[in-house]
Chain A
């Protein structure tokens, strides 16, 4: 993966940044998945009906459960791959923060109404 640095510098801290980077970017992915699913369930009736996992809560149950599964799965995969690696944390953080920013934006109803 291009985000990895195979040769950490001699002055690098004992604990690599891979595990932290995996957690950060997975949180960004989870937040973004939630926003995209919420947006899609608002716009597509068939998708909305498919996300009713628990009837009293409606599609919110499917939106949040699916987003949490995507978050935890991506976290597990990234943790497995990056745990002992030193990654380009600047780029990883930028991606995670961009996903977080987009998710904050996409959960705002007037923005959803644009689509």
Chain B
């Protein structure tokens, strides 16, 4: 059982940070909505508020970790240019996708959209976290501010969803491969 270093980084970026962020989004949206609703005063407690602040901070770290590993670790492998005359493009995912019309849109639409829209997620969730830490439950006293914050939280979810979807699909058609091989477990021959 083995995995290449590049595949491990991709796994960490997509599943470790990206997918975990997407999973956390639904919980954050519900809890943000509930804890700052005008009728929330009776059920919200300081401990619950503290929990949500920690939860949002963790999400912020996940969002930044996802885009930074994506842009500075995996993307250089994805966009690497092959030497002229190279016929095996398996180590050059962007060029592999662009080599046939059946897959070229995964790059020209999918990656081109993903590489930019993904950054709206950390920008938005950082703002959401800051505002909730600053205002806490008193955000319910500022209904218009609360609505704007919730809209940005939804936008963050949507942006991460678009990036996650295209990331998964691109990795299906042109996976990032190569690097040294990491042996996870040695099998026994039968």
- Across chains A and B, the number of contacting residue pairs, with CB separation under 8 Å, is 107
Identify A31's interface contact among B115, B120, B134, CB under 8 A: B120
For residue B155, CB closer than 8 A to chain A, the reply is yes
**A-side interface size class:** 35 or more
- Main secondary structure, interface of A, reads helix
Whether A31 and B124, one on each chain, are in contact in the complex, defined by CB atoms closer than 8 angstroms, is: yes
B interface residues with partner A (beta carbon < 8 Å): 67, 71-72, 75-76, 79, 108-109, 112-113, 115-117, 119-120, 123-124, 126-127, 130-131, 134-135, 138-139, 141-142, 144-145, 147-149, 151-152, 155, 158-159
A60 to B123 alpha-carbon distance, docked (Å)? 16
Whether B115 and A34, one on each chain, are in contact in the complex, defined by CB atoms closer than 8 angstroms, is: no
A112 to B149 alpha-carbon distance, docked (Å)? 27
Given the known A-B contacts A63-B116, A109-B108, are A21 and B123 also in contact in the complex, defined by CB atoms under 8 Å?
no
24 contacts between A and B (CB under 8 A): A13-B142, A15-B134, A15-B138, A15-B141, A20-B142, A21-B145, A27-B127, A30-B123, A31-B124, A34-B119, A42-B112, A56-B76, A57-B71, A60-B115, A64-B67, A67-B119, A71-B123, A89-B142, A90-B144, A93-B147, A96-B148, A107-B120, A109-B109, A109-B113
